[in-house]
Amino acid sequence: MALFLVFRDLPGVTRDQYSAAQRAAADAVRRARAEGRQLAYRGGFFLSAAGRAICVFDAETAADVAAVNDLAGLPVTNIDEAIELRIATDQPPGTR
């Protein structure tokens, strides 16, 4: 599966409304998986001051991501495939 970022413009949306949107996305993924699609919703980032959000999905194709967002009734500005890079450190997590 590939990693996809879903960009959303959400002017005027509150934190509670964004939380409801996250639940809708997760529910839509569950329904799509029950139909045999291979995808997962990994969560997202809400930029309240900017009125935007970025949600993260694992899926076979961008079309699968678009379909599940349509099923959830969520607005999509753009969907981009991404590569996740993590920086390796020599310190254990949670230490400085």
Q: 67 φ, ψ to 5°?
A: -65, -40
Taken in order of first residue, the domains within the chain and their CATH numbers are: 2-82 (3.30.70.3090)
Strands (E), 10-86: 39-47, 52-59, 78-82
What pTM did the predictor assign?
0.86
Summarize pLDDT for 60-94 with one digit per residue, the tens.
999 999 999 999 999 999 999 999 998 877 766 66
Per the CB < 8 A criterion, the answer to whether 58 and 1 are in contact is: yes
3-state SS class at 89: coil
